[in-house]
Amino acid sequence: MDVEPATVIHAYGVVCTDAAIDVPATGIGGAGVALLDAGPVSGVFSIVPGASYGAAAWEEHAEDPAWLAQVATEHQRVLNDLVRDIDVLPLRLPAMYRDEVQLHQMLEAETPLFLAVLQALHDHLEWSVHLYLVGEPEESTVERPASGSEYLRQRIDALSRRDSARGNRERLVRDAYASLADLSRQSVVNQPQDSTLSGRREPMLLNSAHLVCRRHERLFLAGVEEVAARLARDGITVEVSGPWPPYNFVELGTDRVDPAEARP
Amino acid sequence: MSSSSPQTTTAPGAPQGPVFSTNREPSGQSLADVLERVLDKGIVVVGDIQVRLLDIELLTIKIRLMVASVDKAKEMGISWWENDAFVTGIDEPDEKDALEQRVRELEQRLGDGEVQHGR
């Protein structure tokens, strides 16, 4: 195994080069944040201790939620600060480079890809929507069956109520998603989050991300309000968070670049 | 239809409007949301990371399984999502099995010391 270098580069994201960009003061582990100008695009990065954030550290902590949470949160905070004012392409972790020369080489080699995606996502941000089932339809109290056939009838009624509640819920969720997708440039449904990670006991019925133009933000949020009002009586709550960098939509625009051409 | 219509009640204290969590105050972000995005989404520059002492593919697959486990959803009683591509975002019902198989293979290779780090 290579000797861990004293410092490595942690890259956060890619932006269009602009002298006026204000980067946040601190990033991962309190390290300073800087821009690396590679022509049309610039990388947002920190120089971090190799012992703490190098390859060996990643290998050691790859499945350690506490360590990952810390790095992920600090990484996201930097992107979050930037995305309020400018378009940023978020890099998936681990985004680690040996030194600035290597980061510069990567940025130069991938410039066509980055420009295509930045152009496709221009002025768009991501919003996250979760639907939770917080209340169940109440089971009506049934009379003690007087006969076998009475019992069967009650049983069939109960099953049919359960099926219709479930079918109804599925329809409500689909409708809610469709309404929000109508207000978005693009939408994606992700798997419901693990309850151990989300810390929520209620079943997550929908975990979706929506790409929304900055100018249409208020329209989208008004749509969320409407959906929430509609679902409240069925025991479903709506949670929205954002704006996020467009993590779920970085594939947009990539079809304009021939992957074979981008490879060295 | 049955004679008794299903009764629906709203959970006591359920908010009528959406719960907002704007990123203008970072403390409002859910950790699950951050991990899901930062570790499983975002742009990947494949093959250009020469400091590559760990297998990023293996890490990504493991995290994907950790972040969004269909089994957990099933335990929570919402199994009807399972085979629904619209809802789960999984196109192939066998995708998770395939991912798990892939993790096993990669672990096997790691164990055998066959994985070549760096290219």
pLDDT tens-digit readout, A57-69: 887 777 676 788 8
- Chain centroid, CA A51 distance in Å: 29
Percent of chain A with pLDDT over 70: 90
Whether residue B8 lies inside any domain: the answer is no
Residue B20 lies in a domain: no
A19-48 b/e (C-beta count within 10 Å ≥ 16 → b): eeeebeeebbeebebebbebeebbbbbbbb
Pairwise pLDDT comparison (B13 vs A153), residue with the higher score: A153
| Chain A / chain B CB contacts < 8 angstroms | 241
Q: What is the mean pLDDT of residues A47-73?
A: 83
In a domain, A189, yes or no: yes
Nearest residue of B to residue A264 by CA position? Answer: B48
Q: Are residues A106 and A164 in the same domain?
A: no
Question: CB distance A68–B67 less than 8 Å?
Answer: no
Same domain? For A202 and A132 the reply is: yes
Q: How confident is the model at residue A256 (pLDDT cuts 50, 70, 90)?
A: very low
Residue B1 lies in a domain: no
Is the Cα torsion angle A30, A36, A42, A43 positive or negative in sign?
negative
Q: Which residues pair with A37 in a beta bridge?
A: A42
**Within-domain flag for B77:** yes
pLDDT per residue over B76-118, tens digit each?
A: 333 333 333 333 334 444 555 666 677 777 777 666 554 444 4
* Judgement on whether residues A156 and A178 belong to the same structural domain of the protein: yes
Same domain, A128 and A236: yes
Check A92 against B40: CB less than 8 A apart.
Answer: yes
B51 neighbourhood in chain A, CB within 8 Å: 8, 54-55, 96-98, 102
Average pLDDT in chain B: 53
Band of pLDDT at residue B18, cut at 50, 70 and 90: low
A20 shares its domain with A115: yes
Together in a domain, A196 and A211:
yes
Residues A169 and A116 in one domain: no
Task: Indicate whether A214 belongs to any domain.
Answer: yes
pLDDT at A233 over 90: no
Q: Chain-centre distance of CA A212, in angstroms? A: 13
Nearest to B89 among A76, A189, A247 (CB): A189
Question: How far is Cα B37 from Cα B35, in angstroms, rounded to an integer?
Answer: 5
Considering CB atoms only, which of A117, A134, A193 is closest to B36? A193
Name the pLDDT band for A159 (thresholds 50, 70, 90).
confident
Domain containing residue A114: 7-121+251-262
Same domain (yes/no): A172, A187? yes
**How many domains are there within chain B?**
1
Residue A66, Cβ neighbours under 10 Å: how many? 7
User: Quick one: A168 and A142 in the same domain?
Assistant: yes
**Is position A193 within any domain?**
yes
3-class DSSP state of A210: strand
Q: Would you state the pLDDT for residue A236? A: 92
Task: Let me know if residue A1 belongs to a domain.
Answer: no
Residue B100 tokens, joined: 């798990």
What is the average pLDDT score of chain A?
87
Strands A236-244 and B19-22: parallel
Number of domains in chain A: 2
- A177 occurs within a structural domain: yes
Q: Is residue A97 over pLDDT 50?
A: yes
Q: A92 with A188, same domain?
A: no
Q: Are residues A152 and A107 in the same domain?
A: no
- Residues A228, A186, single domain; the answer is yes
Count Cβ atoms within 10 A of the Cβ of residue B95 and give its class: 0-12 exposed, 13-18 middle, 19 or more buried: middle
The answer to the question of residue B74 being in a domain is: yes
DSSP A14-41: EEE--TT----SB-GGG-B-EEEE-SSE
